[in-house]
Amino acid sequence: MISQGVTIKRVLITGITGSGGSYLADYIVENHSEVEVHGLSRWHSTTAGDNLRAIRSRVTVHECDLMDFSSVLSALEKSRPDAVFHLAAHANVRASFQTPLSVLSNNILGTSNLLEALRAARMNPIIQLCSTSEVYGQVDPKDVPIREDAPLRPASPYAVSKVTQDLLGYTYFVAYKMPIIRTRMFAYLNARRTDLFATSFARQVARIERGLQQELVHGNLDSVRTIIDVRDAMRAYWDAVLYCQSGETYNIGGTTTMTVGDFLKTLIALAKTPVPTRVDPALLRPADVTLQIPSIEKFQAATGWKPRYTFEESLAHLLDHWRREVAKEAAT
């Protein structure tokens, strides 16, 4: 494993109050207590601040909108990070078909502002652009498992925005020698993000168990996903900054592969009561990505990373989280 040779004393997480950003902050605070954690959060963010409740006193959150260059520059001057994890984005794939211009402008221009502000401030931290498997779109079966050099065929406005972020990162690496690493995360179990299929299912199962909901609604169950635990995913982000090479792209994903339908069946088997289900046409996308099985050989060769949590442990972690949340809901 080859380190970038930089000591990480201070990090900046964009979108720190969001689902992924808050889990990353949790990981760093709990496992690298010597590192000072800063984060950006929009003043008008609708994300629940509760995502940081367990570590609020141990992180510094800067009020900042990536669409406002001056606020980005100010936050960078205050935080002066050794590493930047860029997670902030409008990330709901289905919603991106309804508000495409908002998603495109936010994700692309926000990333451009961040990179330009770093240049203007003459800062040179390691930058991890946290992208997504959605950039590969509908993959030809001959390209499975998906390697980093597979064609990019984005199938949603959100995916287009992430492809553009990815290419911006490469451009700034080539043109300005900025140490930018691009990671493409495949499906992970993130209990704090309710628009993901796994989280939606777990929340609905917990609500049905409590009598707060009669049936579980779902979209396409035929898509194939390779699943990773959120805690393993965040550790992978950290390892990427330490060991991956600037200018390169890396797939990150788990080792458990199944259809969305099989995931739902496994989850329902853990339910304490029968769970009726039905398809909701409103949950079907105009274009869907149905085959996402990654090759993570490149990332593992660079970092030595391996998942620590089994699928069963990850599923229990997800369902337990939503049973606790729904118990609070039922008590109000």
Looking at the fold, whether 61 and 201 belong to one and the same domain comes out as no
Our count of domains for the chain comes to 2
Phi-psi region of 10 (alpha: psi -120 to 50; beta: other; left: phi over 0): beta
Residue 300 lies in a domain: no
pLDDT of residue 2: 42
If asked whether residues 193 and 132 sit together in one domain, one would say no
CATH code at position 276: 3.90.25.10
For residues 17 and 108, membership in a common domain is answered with yes
The pLDDT of residue 6 is 67
The verdict on 91 and 171 lying in the same domain is yes
Asked if 180 and 206 sit in the same domain, the reply is: no
Same structural domain, 132 and 164: yes
- 2 assigned to some structural domain: no
Query: Does residue 161 share a domain with residue 69?
Result: yes
In a domain, 5, yes or no: no
> What confidence score (pLDDT) does residue 3 get?
47
38 with 163, same domain? yes
Strands (E), 186-240: 188-189, 216-218, 224-229
Q: For residue 286, what pLDDT is reported? A: 86
Q: Is there a domain that residue 72 lies in?
A: yes
Is residue 273 in some structural domain?
yes
Q: What is the pLDDT along the chain (332 residues), one digit of tens a residue?
A: 344 556 899 999 999 999 999 999 999 999 999 999 999 998 655 555 589 999 999 999 999 999 999 999 999 999 999 999 999 999 999 999 999 999 999 999 999 999 999 999 999 999 999 999 999 999 999 999 999 999 999 999 999 999 999 999 999 999 999 999 999 999 999 999 998 999 999 999 999 999 999 999 999 999 999 999 999 999 999 999 999 999 999 999 999 999 999 999 999 999 999 999 999 998 888 877 778 999 999 999 999 999 999 999 999 999 999 999 999 999 98
Beta carbons of 20 and 90 less than 8 angstroms apart: no
Would residue 3 count as lying in a domain? no
**260 shares a domain with 246:** no
**CB-based contact 61:253 (threshold 8 Å):** no
Q: Contacts by 111-115 with C-beta closer than 8 Å and gap 24+?
A: 111/66, 111/86, 111/164, 111/165, 111/168, 111/169, 112/168, 113/66, 113/67, 113/68, 113/69, 113/72, 114/14, 114/66, 114/72, 114/84, 114/86, 115/168, 115/169, 115/172, 115/178
Same-domain pairing of 86 and 137: yes
Give the pLDDT score at 1. Answer: 38
**One domain for residues 51 and 161:** yes
| Rounded Cα gap, residues 154 and 209, in angstroms | 38
pLDDT at res. 43: 64
Whether residues 152 and 285 fall in one domain: no
Any domain includes 121? yes
What CATH number does the domain containing 71 carry?
A: 3.40.50.720
Q: Tell me which residue of 264, 290, 267, 266 sits closest to 278, measured CA to CA.
A: 264
Q: Structural domain of residue 122, as residue ranges?
A: 10-188+229-252
